[in-house]
């Protein structure tokens, strides 16, 4: 299997990652889905403590305890929540992170986390304190490395300069090309990108027309519904599965180590895992897709 290293760490992941936010709450169903994913080579699992207010981590823990040495685990922190009332607020403090990681470890039934991500962030956060919390957890061996999950340009650039992060998770797909202004800098700093939502709500997929009507009837980012329909038609002319094109596009830049797709069924896992061993996109195809779409730029949180 082709694996890619996360940042300067010794952690390697396949070019596709399974996101679990859409998993249901049935233990047997989740274990079957995770077993299917592992069988197909999807060894990198992404979750967060906020998903299901802790319940998602608990479900994954039931599987993880039997397969810990086979799985690369990513989870996230920063949303201070009450699992009973399902209320939450943003809390990137060192005190909360130190306490929250212990609860995640209990739910996940493991004694370490491979990649621990700050689940958001603003420029007004106590960033030095947050970085200190992650550095201490890494030094203690509680986490192997850390990063942030963000689409805020100023936050990403601040962590790039001040911290030892190895990864940034951000929304990136061939429609949402905003991260492209950051990719070269991240690569130069040896910070890897995990591209979430690579299929753009399923718009760039075999069910693109249906998903446009159901999930993007008012458009997507700066694209109107009519423009999305036109783009999907043009992509179909390439005569390759749209899922493959979507994955290959975001993986084309060397800063991107893995595309994180969500799944809510075994069928979705099987369909997407077919591309875990796919080859790279040729430069001319990459340029062709860039001509079909358009570059977008972050308009907020730049300073």
| Residue-by-residue pLDDT tens, the chain, 303 positions | 689 999 999 999 999 999 999 998 899 999 999 999 999 999 999 999 999 999 999 999 999 999 999 999 999 999 999 989 999 999 999 999 999 999 999 999 999 999 999 999 999 999 999 999 999 999 999 999 999 999 999 999 999 999 999 999 999 999 999 999 999 999 999 999 999 999 999 999 999 999 999 999 999 999 999 999 999 999 999 999 999 999 999 999 999 999 999 999 999 999 999 999 999 999 999 999 999 999 999 999 988
Position 192 scores a pLDDT of 98
Q: Which of 51, 116, 146, 223 is catalytic?
A: 51
Helix (H/G/I), strand (E/B), else coil: 258: strand
The CATH code of the domain at 3-202+243-280 is: 3.20.20.100
- Strands 16-19 vs 12-14: parallel, antiparallel or unpaired: unpaired
Cα gap 186→148, rounded to integer Å: 13
Among 5, 263, 230, residue whose Cα is nearest residue 114: 5
Is position 223 annotated as part of the catalytic site? no
Position 298 scores a pLDDT of 94
At residue 128's C-alpha, the angle toward residues 138 and 255, to 5°, is: 65
Structure tokens at 116: 């621990």
Q: Which residues contact 66 (CB under 8 A, 6 or more apart)?
A: none
Helix, strand, coil percentages in the chain from 3-state DSSP, rounded to 5: 45, 20, 40
Structure tokens at 264: 């809510």
What residue spans define the domains of the chain? 3-202+243-280
């Amino acid at each position: 299997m082709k694996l890619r290293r996360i940042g300067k760490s010794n952690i390697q992941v396949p070019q596709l990652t399974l996101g679990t936010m859409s998993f249901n709450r049935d233990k047997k169903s989740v274990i079957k889905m995770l077993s299917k994913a592992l069988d197909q080579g999807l060894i990198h699992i992404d979750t967060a403590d906020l998903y299901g207010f802790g319940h998602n981590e608990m479900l994954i823990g039931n599987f993880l305890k039997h397969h810990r040495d086979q799985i690369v685990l990513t989870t996230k922190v920063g949303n201070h929540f009450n699992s009973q009332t399902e209320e939450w607020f943003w809390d990137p403090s060192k005190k909360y992170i130190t306490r929250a990681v212990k609860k995640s470890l209990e739910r996940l039934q493991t004694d370490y986390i491979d990649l621990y991500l700050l689940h958001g962030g603003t420029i007004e956060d106590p960033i030095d304190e947050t970085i200190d919390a992650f550095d201490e957890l890494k030094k203690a061996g509680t986490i192997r490395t850390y990063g942030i999950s963000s689409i805020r340009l100023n936050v990403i650039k601040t962590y790039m300069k001040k911290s030892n992060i190895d990864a940034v998770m951000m929304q990136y797909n061939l429609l949402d090309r905003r991260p492209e202004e950051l990719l070269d800098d991240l690569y130069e700093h040896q910070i890897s990108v995990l591209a979430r939502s690579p299929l753009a709500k399923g718009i760039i997929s075999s069910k693109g027309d249906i998903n446009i009507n159901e999930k993007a009837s008012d458009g997507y980012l700066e694209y109107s519904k009519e423009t999305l329909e036109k783009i999907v038609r043009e992509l179909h002319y390439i005569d390759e599965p749209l899922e493959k094109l979507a994955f290959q596009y975001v993986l084309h830049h060397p800063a991107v180590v893995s595309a994180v797709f969500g799944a809510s069924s075994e069928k979705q896992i099987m369909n997407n895992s077919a591309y875990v061993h796919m080859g790279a996109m040729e430069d001319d195809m990459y340029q062709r897709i860039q001509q079909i779409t358009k570059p977008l730029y972050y308009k907020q949180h730049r300073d």
